[in-house]
Amino acid sequence: MSDHPKIELQGVSKSFGSNHVLRDVSFSVEPGESMTIIGGSGCGKSVMLKCILGLMDVDAGKIFVDGEEITGMKAADHDRVRAKFGMLFQGGALFDSLPIWRNITFALTQGRHKRSSDMRATALENLERVGLGKEVLDLRPSELSGGMQKRVALARAIAPRPEIIFFDEPTTGLDPIRTDVINKLIVELVKDLGITALTITHDMGSVEKISDRVAMLFEGRIIWSGPVSELRHSGDVHVDQFVQGRAEGPIS
């Protein structure tokens, strides 16, 4: 096993004009760890993910993946590093024109000829990991409930067996029971497949279920980070206000 963090940010800053979205952000995620970033709407979580994926340049600082610096990397090398990442998008982002099995195997077939029978078998294996079965293989996403679509999106995210998965608001729009099902699946998959997870979410229930460690972004800075067990005893008034979901406090 590598002795480098899976992902490391060192002093990353990013501004849009006078909007200083990320200010000297540093943190690392260890291999196999589940790290969650919390913070209010617009605090820079998505910008941070784009910088890590090399989809956006940073103004200052360095980002490493498996000890390899990706900031300033050539496009071809970026593609190679990006292949380590999977993504569960907010809302699932399934292709409604394709049946479920093609949605799940989409990334596996890009630019390569694969036998349909093999891809259906792969789709089924991944569907079974998220508690679904062959009855949904030939359906379209719109024929499934929101919770089932989330499971399919999860099956698609794990199908290429990425080393790292980004979960962007993985439980948004789900009722509390389906939220719990997805949280449990995330925990199981990350553990069983040895995936490193970086999640951004507002949902405190998810944070407490799926994270090993948590970091809070506020006004472009990481103002607190620590094990999830310490989140409710952080001693930081901003973290307390966010965790307890109070309107009153330093965050307006």
Ligand X SMILES: Nc1ncnc2c1ncn2[C@@H]1O[C@H](COP(=O)(O)OP(=O)(O)OP(=O)(O)O)[C@@H](O)[C@H]1O
Least distance to ligand X from the beta carbon of 131, Å? 28
Q: Out of 2, 16, 96, 247, which residue is the one contacting ligand X (CB under 6 A)? A: 16
Least distance to ligand X from the beta carbon of 114, Å? 35
Q: Which residue has the tokens 């699932």?
A: 92
Footprint of ligand X on 134-193 (CB under 6 A): none
* Shorter beta-carbon distance to ligand X: residue 163 or 203: 203
The answer to whether 153 touches 93, Cβ cutoff 8 Å, is yes
* Shorter beta-carbon distance to ligand X: residue 21 or 130: 21
User: Does 6 participate in binding ligand X (rule CB under 6 A)?
Assistant: no
Least distance to ligand X from the beta carbon of 52, Å? 12
Least distance to ligand X from the beta carbon of 17, Å? 8
Least distance to ligand X from the beta carbon of 150, Å? 18
How many positions of this chain bind ligand X (CB under 6 A)?
A: 11
* Shorter beta-carbon distance to ligand X: residue 122 or 199: 199
Footprint of ligand X on 38-57 (CB under 6 A): 39, 41-47
* Shorter beta-carbon distance to ligand X: residue 101 or 218: 218
DSSP lists the bridge partners of residue 123 as none
Binding site for ligand X (CB under 6 A): 16, 19, 21, 39, 41-47
